């Protein structure tokens, strides 16, 4: 049994002890969100200066143009042909505007090089406006860049790199300058959106809210949406109402699903997956072919044997007459077949029992992927098999 499959088995068994098979619950705030209360993406183009020769090269025209435009706005006229940008790097600055973000609040920004800079280490971002999808400026970013790593190289081209030196971050590097209008005090009804749509979860959430509020204020609309009306006693206390609803415990449901990542050999199986009665036999056939060339070299000062055919000695060795050199190919073929065991899995077995059964025949993660696909094709896997 491989060490990697042992780790998978240990994780599955550990989760079976940590998470109960039934009755586990979660807060509504952890499995859902309120419609309209969300983050908004901001984007901008900026320049990082102060780099130690690791900036963009002279052929990066947008970096030169950006630097020239900035200097022109500051009253400095320069010739673009004489500008050197090895200490400057052009970057795209991105940020997330949080809901209810007020003017003056600080938010984090991420900077990504769009030129051919080698590193952003030690640089400082110049004042950069951050715009939303509507083209309006909502924040301004500026400050020293932190890349969380380094890049060092020599004149010969070698070097050492840690992490990703062309992507940086400024914690609290942007300040909000414009707010997005959002008010919940005048709402008569609000909508809850489930992170993982499921009809059972939506129905349970609505019933739990009604039980807590004492009346039928919540109603499921579909598998991922439910609405709740603002009771009269919470007309001016909507924040308090949302906080109370967020703390309500609900037992989420989910479909039986198996996730397979064939690139990395990762298999994740949900607890609701069941296996019908099926027999599994799995074995590997390995064929190895080795090719090599043998060279027959004549003795020193041997007379030339040009025009004379080589002759074969005992044992298959080919000897060239006279002073000729002969190259002969040689192939070695070996076949190895692993012993396979027939495994009978009873009807209705759970994931823990399935892993134990497959472990008994010593399958690897790659083998497990193949077996699960075969069981699904046979109609014995009661769940959805998703390959990513």
**Does 115 share its domain with 213?**
no
Domain that holds residue 191: 25-36+183-250
**Does 89 share its domain with 213?**
no
pLDDT confidence bin for 265, thresholds 50/70/90: confident
Weakest mean pLDDT among 171-185, 220-234, 278-292, 372-386: 278-292
pLDDT digits (tens, 9 = 90+) for 147-201: 877 666 665 556 677 778 899 999 999 999 999 888 888 788 899 999 999 999 9
**Does 76 share its domain with 137?**
yes
**Does 112 share its domain with 130?**
yes
Look at residue 270 and tell me if it is in a domain.
Answer: yes
Weakest mean pLDDT among 105-114, 190-199, 257-266: 257-266
| Boundary residue ending a domain (176, 191, 207) | 176
Look at residue 11 and tell me if it is in a domain.
Answer: no
Average pLDDT, the chain: 79
Look at residue 142 and tell me if it is in a domain.
Answer: yes
User: Coil, strand or helix: which one is 369?
Assistant: helix
Look at residue 296 and tell me if it is in a domain.
Answer: yes
Comparison of pLDDT for 100 and 13, the residue scoring more: 100
CA dihedral 336, 341, 347, 348 (to 10 degrees): -60
How many other β-carbons are positioned within 10 Å of the β-carbon of residue 279? 10
Comparison of pLDDT for 51 and 154, the residue scoring more: 51
The DSSP secondary structure of 250-266, one letter per residue, reads E------EEEEETTTTE
Residue 104 confidence (pLDDT) above 60: yes
Residue 367 confidence (pLDDT) above 50: yes
Residue 335 confidence (pLDDT) above 70: no
For the segment 308-312, the average pLDDT, to the nearest whole number, is 55
pLDDT for the residue numbered 114:
93
pLDDT confidence bin for 322, thresholds 50/70/90: low
How many other β-carbons are positioned within 10 Å of the β-carbon of residue 379? 9
Look at residue 156 and tell me if it is in a domain.
Answer: yes
Residue 225 confidence (pLDDT) above 60: yes
How many other β-carbons are positioned within 10 Å of the β-carbon of residue 26? 14
Q: Tokens in use for 156?
A: 């010969």
**Does 100 share its domain with 169?**
yes
pLDDT for the residue numbered 149:
73
**Does 208 share its domain with 125?**
no
The length of the chain in residues reads: 388
How far CA 94 is from CA of 17, 224, 373, in Å, comes to 42, 30, 41
C-alpha 322/C-alpha 299 separation (Å) is 9
**Does 171 share its domain with 192?**
no
**Does 108 share its domain with 126?**
yes
The share of the chain scoring above pLDDT 90, in percent, equals 33
pLDDT for the residue numbered 89:
93
**Does 197 share its domain with 271?**
no
User: Coil, strand or helix: which one is 94?
Assistant: strand
Q: What is the CATH number of the domain that holds 216?
A: 3.90.1150
How far CA 65 is from CA of 43, 82, 131, in Å, comes to 19, 12, 20
**Does 107 share its domain with 219?**
no
C-alpha 379/C-alpha 200 separation (Å) is 25
**Does 324 share its domain with 222?**
no
Based on the structure, what is the number of domains in the chain? 4
How many other β-carbons are positioned within 10 Å of the β-carbon of residue 224? 17
**Does 276 share its domain with 355?**
yes
Comparison of pLDDT for 320 and 327, the residue scoring more: 327
Look at residue 310 and tell me if it is in a domain.
Answer: no
Look at residue 311 and tell me if it is in a domain.
Answer: no
The DSSP secondary structure of 37-57, one letter per residue, reads ---EEEEEEEEEE--SS-S--
Look at residue 242 and tell me if it is in a domain.
Answer: yes
């Amino acid at each position: 049994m491989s060490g990697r499959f042992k780790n998978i088995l240990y994780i599955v068994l550990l989760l079976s002890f940590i998470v109960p098979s039934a009755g586990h619950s979660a807060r509504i705030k952890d499995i859902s969100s309120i419609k309209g209360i969300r983050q908004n993406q901001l984007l901008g183009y900026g320049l990082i200066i102060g780099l130690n020769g690791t900036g963009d090269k002279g052929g990066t025209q947008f970096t030169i143009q950006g630097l020239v435009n900035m200097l022109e706005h500051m009253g400095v006229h320069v010739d673009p042909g004489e500008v050197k940008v090895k200490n400057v790097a052009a970057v795209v600055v991105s940020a997330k505007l949080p809901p209810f973000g007020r003017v003056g609040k600080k938010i984090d920004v991420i900077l990504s090089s769009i030129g051919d800079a080698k590193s952003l280490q030690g640089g400082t971002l110049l004042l950069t406006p951050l715009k939303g999808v509507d083209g309006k400026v909502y924040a301004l970013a500026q400050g020293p860049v932190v890349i969380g790593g380094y890049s060092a190289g020599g004149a010969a081209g070698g070097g050492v790199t840690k992490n990703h030196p062309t992507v940086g971050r400024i914690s609290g590097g942007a300040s909000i300058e414009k707010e997005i209008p959002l008010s919940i005090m005048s709402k008569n009804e609000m909508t809850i959106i489930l992170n993982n749509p499921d009809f059972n979860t939506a129905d349970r959430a609505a019933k739990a809210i009604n039980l807590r509020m004492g009346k039928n204020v919540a109603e499921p609309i579909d598998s991922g949406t439910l609405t709740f009306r603002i009771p009269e006693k919470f007309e001016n206390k909507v924040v308090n109402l949302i906080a109370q609803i967020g703390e309500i415990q609900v037992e989420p449901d989910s479909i039986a699903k198996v996730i397979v990542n064939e690139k990395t050999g990762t298999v994740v199986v949900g607890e609701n997956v069941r296996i019908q009665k099926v027999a599994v036999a799995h074995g590997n056939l390995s064929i190895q072919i080795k090719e090599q060339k043998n060279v027959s070299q004549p003795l020193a000062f041997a007379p030339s044997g040009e025009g004379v055919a080589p002759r074969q000695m005992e044992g298959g060795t080919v000897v060239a007459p006279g002073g000729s050199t002969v190259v002969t190919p040689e192939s070695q073929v070996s076949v190895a077949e692993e012993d396979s065991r027939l495994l009978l899995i009873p009807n209705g077995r759970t994931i823990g029992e399935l892993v134990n059964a497959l472990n008994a025949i010593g399958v690897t993660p790659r083998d497990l992927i193949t077996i699960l696909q075969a069981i699904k094709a046979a109609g014995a896997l009661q769940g959805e098999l998703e390959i990513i």
